[in-house]
């Protein structure tokens, strides 16, 4: 089961902590070369490459890459009413939170007639990825599409892998949720090929390049996003999932074990990490884990994840050291299950999303909290944030000075342009006062 990293009695430096955090052997860097070859195939051979890749990786050749409008409509009509109700509830919560989080325009008046405005412009066209390999993720349709719509994106395209057990069509629930949200440009394509198709366009299929590619996916999807990041915008590397739980003796060992298993269920490369200051509590979680891993439906996948080098049980002296470890790890999902939640929360700098207290499990955020589940993985939460409406918006500064305000600041420009030996900059200002 979970290997142990025992930090008790030691005070590792920040650099030492970084070297100690558990990571998967197959990380995004290792997937860059294959992902690059797959993207190149799509750039060279277009739709043909996407069909071949579907056969190679998804075990099925779709009838067409573009999903017909009738298929989307029919999927929505056939959607189980209970599932539709659950999806609509998630949509309402994510829409309400996303709309409230839209950054507001700001006007700063620096002096009379000297005004800087900052406005937020949506990107024009986006490509949204919805995973569908080991599991299918209709919830990711909501998490991608709703913030894009809230941001005011005009053109939304969506991709998900073709499914062998649905004759090469995308999963019907994914098709239904796309239709429910009014998205009609949908493609049956998966993995790095789909990301390449969005970034560069596929002329023979009429797929136009996008200005942002977002969405979760496996290590090949995350690698492809890193590769196209100079060509198009990306949200974050939302790859194989991870959970880090900070818990003390006051926590419920069974809740913690259940949460560690829930994220391990996604992928053999998923990371489940427990950081605790109580060796007794650690043992209790280990016991509950044994039982839960054996009993859960995807037991083999979960076992591979929790026994992988990316997962660990970390013993620390105190919760201050636990927070330092969590900051070095940069968890996608951080749970805090300790007696004084706010004291630990105050020490956290790096995390994709933070779940506090015994009644905020990660799976709440996966489906129904109203927060977004597309979050940075592999330690990238140390420099980037999760998906939100802001991902699809760009701040633009608008400069509005009148004559008097420019005259007042002219000496500053003259001095700095002379200092930089760019006199034409100063002359562009003085020219306005020479008439
Ligand atoms: P996926 O759609 O991401 O991957 C399937 C695709 O991967 C296939 O269509 C194929 O194109 C490609 N692929 C498969 N094997 C390949 C190979 N050997 N070489 C090259 N390409 C290959 O679906 P999945 O596999 O189920 O993975 C979903 C992932 O998304 C999981 O790792 C899960 O943890 C992650 N996830 C992350 C978040 C997040 O926000 N970080 C949220 C949800 C899910």
Quickly list DSSP for 32-43: HHHHHHHHHHHH
Mutation choice for ligand 1 from 30, 33, 55, 57, CB with most ligand atoms inside 8 A = 57
Joined tokens for residue 385 = 């944030």
Q: What is the predicted ipTM?
A: 0.98
CB atoms within 10 A of CB 283: 12
Q: Side-chain half-sphere of 143: how many Cα atoms within 13 Å?
A: 25
161 lines ligand 1 (CB under 6 A): yes
Q: For ligand 1, atom 11, which residue shows the shortest CA distance? A: 191
Quickly list DSSP for 53-76: HIIIIIS---S-SBPPHHHHHHHH
Mutation choice for ligand 1 from 137, 218, 227, 310, CB with most ligand atoms inside 8 A = 218
For the question of residue 333 being annotated catalytic, the response is yes
Q: What is the pTM of this model?
A: 0.96
Burial 183-206 (b: 16+ CB within 10 A, else e): bebbbbbbbbbbbbbbbbbbeebe
Question: pLDDT 10s per residue in the chain (435 long)?
Answer: 899 999 999 999 989 999 999 999 888 999 999 999 999 999 999 999 999 999 999 999 999 999 999 999 999 999 999 999 999 999 999 999 999 999 999 999 999 999 999 999 999 999 999 999 999 999 999 999 999 999 999 999 999 999 999 999 999 999 999 999 999 999 999 999 999 999 999 999 999 999 999 999 999 999 999 999 999 999 999 999 999 999 999 999 999 999 999 999 999 999 999 999 999 999 999 999 999 999 999 999 999 999 999 999 999 999 999 999 999 999 999 999 999 999 999 999 999 999 999 999 999 999 999 999 999 999 999 999 999 999 999 999 999 999 999 999 999 999 999 999 999 999 999 999 997
For the question of residue 55 being annotated catalytic, the response is no
Distance of CA 308 from the midpoint of ligand 1 (Å): 18
Name the active-site residue from 185, 265, 268, 333. Answer: 333
131 lines ligand 1 (CB under 6 A): yes
Q: For ligand 1, atom 15, which residue shows the shortest CA distance? A: 57
Distance of CA 258 from the midpoint of ligand 1 (Å): 23
Distance of CA 239 from the midpoint of ligand 1 (Å): 8
């Amino acid at each position: 089961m979970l290997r142990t990293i025992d930090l008790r009695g030691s005070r590792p430096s920040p650099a030492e902590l970084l070297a100690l955090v558990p990571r998967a052997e197959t990380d995004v860097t290792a997937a860059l070369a294959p992902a690059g070859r797959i993207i190149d195939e799509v750039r060279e051979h277009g739709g043909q490459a996407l069909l071949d890749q579907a056969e190679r990786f998804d075990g099925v050749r779709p009838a067409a890459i573009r999903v017909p409008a009738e298929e989307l409509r029919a999927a929505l009509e056939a959607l189980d009413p209970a599932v539709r109700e659950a999806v609509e509830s998630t949509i309402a919560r994510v829409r309400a939170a996303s709309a409230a989080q839209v950054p507001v325009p700001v006007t700063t008046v620096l002096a009379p007639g000297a005004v800087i405005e900052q406005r937020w412009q949506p990107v024009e066209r986006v490509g949204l990825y919805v995973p569908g390999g080991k599991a299918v993720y209709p919830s990711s349709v909501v998490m991608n599409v709703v913030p894009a719509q809230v941001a005011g994106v005009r053109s939304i395209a969506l991709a998900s892998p073709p499914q062998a057990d649905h004759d090469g069509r995308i999963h019907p629930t994914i098709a239904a949720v796309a239709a429910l949200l009014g998205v009609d440009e949908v493609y049956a394509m998966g993995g790095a090929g789909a990301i390449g198709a969005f970034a560069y366009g596929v002329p023979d299929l009429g797929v136009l390049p996008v200005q942002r590619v977002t969405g979760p996916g496996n290590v090949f999807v995350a690698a492809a996003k890193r590769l196209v990041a100079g060509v198009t915008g990306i949200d974050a590397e939302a790859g194989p999932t991870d959970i880090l739980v900070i818990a003390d003796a006051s926590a419920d060992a069974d809740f913690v074990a259940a949460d560690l298993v829930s994220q391990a269920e996604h992928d053999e490369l998923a990371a489940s990490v427990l950081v605790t200051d109580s060796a007794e509590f650690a043992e209790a979680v280990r016991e509950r884990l044994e039982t839960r891993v054996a009993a859960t439906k995807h037991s083999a996948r979960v076992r591979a994840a929790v026994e992988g080098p990316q997962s660990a049980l970390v013993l620390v002296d105190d919760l201050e050291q636990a927070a330092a470890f969590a900051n070095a790890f940069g968890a996608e999902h951080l749970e805090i299950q300790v007696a004084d939640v706010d004291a630990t929360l105050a020490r956290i700098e790096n995390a994709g999303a933070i779940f506090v207290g015994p009644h905020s499990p990660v799976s709440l955020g996966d489906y129904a909290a109203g927060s977004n589940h597309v979050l940075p993985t592999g330690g990238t939460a140390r420099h980037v944030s999760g998906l939100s409406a802001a991902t699809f918006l760009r701040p633009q500064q608008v400069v509005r000075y009148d004559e008097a305000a420019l005259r007042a600041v002219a000496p500053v420009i003259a001095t700095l342009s002379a200092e930089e030996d760019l006199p034409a900059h100063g002359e562009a200002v003085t020219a306005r006062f020479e008439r």
